[in-house]
Each structure stands twice: as C-alpha cells, then as structure tokens.
Structure 1
Amino acid sequence: MKRFILVITIGVFSSLCYSQSAQPNKKELDTLKTKLETLFMEDQLFRRLYQDAEKKFGQDSAEMEYFWKVVEEQDDRIELEFIAIIEKYGWLGISEVGRLANTAQFSIMQHSSIETKKKYAPLMKESVLINESQPVQYARLIDRMLVNDNKPQIYGSQITQDETGNSIFFEIEKPELINKRRKEIGLDGIENFAKQRQIEWNVVQKEK
C-alpha cells in the first residue's frame, strides 16, 4: 500500500512539474538543442579517452586520480546546468530538440547525483509514454539505480557475468512479470534481449 501511494505521489509531482514548465518558442528550442548537444559532448569527451589514459599512465596513477577529479568537477557543473534547463522547461522531447539533445538529458542523468535521478526520472517516464523519449534509455536509468542500490532490477537491462564468464542478468524483481513491465514503457519482450546476449531465458510470463 505504501508503495502504491508513493507511485501516485510521484505521478502527481511529475504532472505538476510539467504543468508549471515554461513553453519554449522556436528560437528558445534551437538554443536549448545546441546547449544540450554541447553538454552531451562535454559529458562524453573524457569518458571516451579514459582507456587510452589508463594505458599510458596506469589505473592507479596520480595522473588518473587527477583525470577523474576533473571529470567529477565537470559532471557537477553539467548537472547544475541541466537542472536549470529542466526546472524551467521540463523534460524536452525528441520532437522539440531532436534525438541527440534528448539523449543528452539521459546521459547527463546517468552521471548525476542519486537525488537528481530520483527527482527527474518521472519526467523522463512521462516523455517515454508519449513516444518523446527512448524507452530503452529509461529502462537503463531505472535498472542501474536499483542495481547500484543492491535491489532487483525491473526491466532486465543490466547484465553481468557468472564465475565461468557467461553473461547473466542481475537479479530481476518478479521475473514472471517482466514483459508486462517492459510493454508498459514500449519495450519488446525480454526473450529477444536475452537471445542477443546469449543468455538463457525460460521464465513463463504472466499478465498480472
């Protein structure tokens, strides 16, 4: 019952955030598109370089310690800029800013604080449900939050390896209902996802 009340509360909060968001005009949307794409580039740049840096300096080197310090400081700045945008305009959909800028919001959320993730995830879900954001990205965001909190995932997007090196799913909450949950946000059945990653899946699915 408490969980049901929490879901309703989050939904009401999310709807209020949308209703109070400013409606950007065409010029503002163009500016927001450019801004988000720039933030996305900044968010990804160092992460695309870290493996080369590790090979050169060593994983536990002073240079890599400084490298990740710079990344952390940049993440904090990007998060604040992202929050300023979403607090004013809400979650920006694909039809408003394009797929890349829309994806930028997801990527920034991935590297933001847990408080930011929890606060704005409902806005992303609303966008997903009207086909304005990508369901696979929402699934990854939610599942990673749960796995990082040592809780079962709900969409089955997170995999790991067993002791023999075979791919397996992180624990899934009520796996017999996973396709129902996936369908609700626009994802296909878990069977295809498992097959692509050579994971055995034979859990009979239920509707409720």
Structure 2
Amino acid sequence: MENMKGNLVNIGLILLVGLLFLTACFKIARAPGVEVRTVNCDELPTLLDSVHKQDQIVRTDHSISFRETVNKDYENLSTVVSILESCGMPGLDQLTQTQFNAIWMVLHHSPESQYMKKYFPLLKEAKEKGDMRPGDFATVQDRVLMNKRKPQIYGTQISRGRLYKLKDPEYVNQRREEVGLSPIEDYLRFFDIDFEVEQKVK
C-alpha cells in the first residue's frame, strides 16, 4: 500500500511538472499577432531602414532569445503589412535596394505564412518591374512552395537541417544560374550539406 501511494505521488508530480512545462511553452510560443496601423507613406525609407536593421539583428545576435525574436518578427511584420495596406508595394523609385529587401525578407521570415501567400502577387509584379532581384524572388517562390508542401525549384530552402525536397534536382544549377544564384553545392556548403546529384543542361 505504501509503495502504491508513493507511486501515485510520483506520477502526480510528473504530471504537474509536465503541465507546468507545457504552460511555459505555450506562453513562449503564443503569437503577439499582427496589428495593422496607419502609415505615413512619405516615411517609408526611414521605416524600412529600421525594419531591415531589426530583422538582421535578431538573426545575428545569438544572445537574443527565441521569444524576443518572435516578438520582433511580429513587430516587423505589422509594419510591413501596414505599409502594403496603406501605400501599396513601393518600388526602387522610392526606396534603396536594401530598403526594398526589408519588405520581402520580413514576409519570408514571417511566423505566419498566409502573409507571404497574400502578397506574393505584389512581389511577382515587383520582380517583373525590376524592383525585386530574380534571385530574391526565387527564394520567396521556394518558400511559398514549401509552405504548400510542394517541391521547391531553386533549392534555397532548408528544413530540419536538410535540403527541402527539390523538383528535377539534376537541373537545379541551370535554374539557379538563370536567376543569378550560385551553384547549389556552394550554397549548401554553408549548411554542411552535401549535394551529389549530377547536373545536366536542357
């Protein structure tokens, strides 16, 4: 009987610790949400300079916690969504390349994939106008395909330490060259991933 009581107490403690852990995880992962605000369209360069700086800081400063990164990503996403809703997609006649890049990079890093999907047509139009570089658009296109669980085209997306599934991998370097990207072997070397598919040209 004593052993049974002891076992029940131990099980209760384990369940309590597990519940507290799950509660803590939920608090950390809980999304702050996107807040659409009124934006002064004359201030886009300043706004996007700040967004670009913050987006890069949370990805290079390893002292920043996961929760802080998520919060900053939502803050930046709120700014970019507010810009696109209030001002439309600005071009290089209004912005520098770095400022424009902040828009697609924030959408690319967004914790919520529906915003990338929603504004993908605007990014495609920007690419066709020459505002968005083909290689950058290729990265966005691959992310959209990955979010749909479809094979990527250019091999820009890594998932769980591996190259995400790739359409016709034997032709990937030809496709990458067409949009100004380096050979996939060089790209994957940064992630310590080997790529040994023999390349062909159509």
Q: What TM-score do you get using the length of structure 2 for normalisation?
A: 0.62
> In 2, Cα distance between the equivalents of 1:114 and 1:161?
18
Q: Name the stretch that deviates more: 73-82 or 172-181.
A: 172-181
Choose between structure 1 and 2: higher helix proportion. Answer: 1
1:204 maps to which residue?
200
C-alpha distance in 1, partners of 2:172/2:153?
Answer: 7
Q: How much does 1:99 deviate? A: 0.8
Q: Distance in 2 between matches of 1:144 and 1:155?
A: 10
Q: CA deviation at 1:111?
A: 2.1
Which amino acid in the other structure matches residue 184 of structure 2? Answer: A
Runs of 4+ in 1 over 6 A off after TM superposition: none
Query: Could you tell me the percent identity over the aligned residues?
Result: 27
Provide the residue aligned with 1:170 in structure 2.
Answer: 164
Match of 1:119 in 2: 118
- Provide the secondary structure at the position in 2 that maps to 1:139: helix
TM-score computed with the length of structure 1 as normaliser = 0.61
The reply on whether 1:156 has 2:146 as its aligned counterpart is no
AA aligned to 1:82 is V
Matching residue's letter, 1:142: Q
Say whether 1:104 aligns with 2:102. Answer: yes
User: Which structure has the greater CA radius of gyration?
Assistant: 2
- Contact 1:82–1:108 under 8 Å retained in 2: yes
Q: Which runs of 5+ in 2 are unaligned?
A: 1-39, 190-194
- Mapped to 1, the partners of 2:125 and 2:88 lie a distance apart of 11
Structure 1: runs of 5 or more not aligned: 1-26, 54-63, 163-167
**Higher normalized contact order (CA 8 Å, seq sep 6+, divided by chain length):** 1
Deviation track 1:5-28 (CA, whole Å, cap 9, x = no partner) reads: xxxxxxxxxxxxxxxxxxxxxx95
The count of corresponding residues between Structure 1 and Structure 2 is 156
Residue 57 of structure 2 is aligned with which of 45, 49, 55?
45
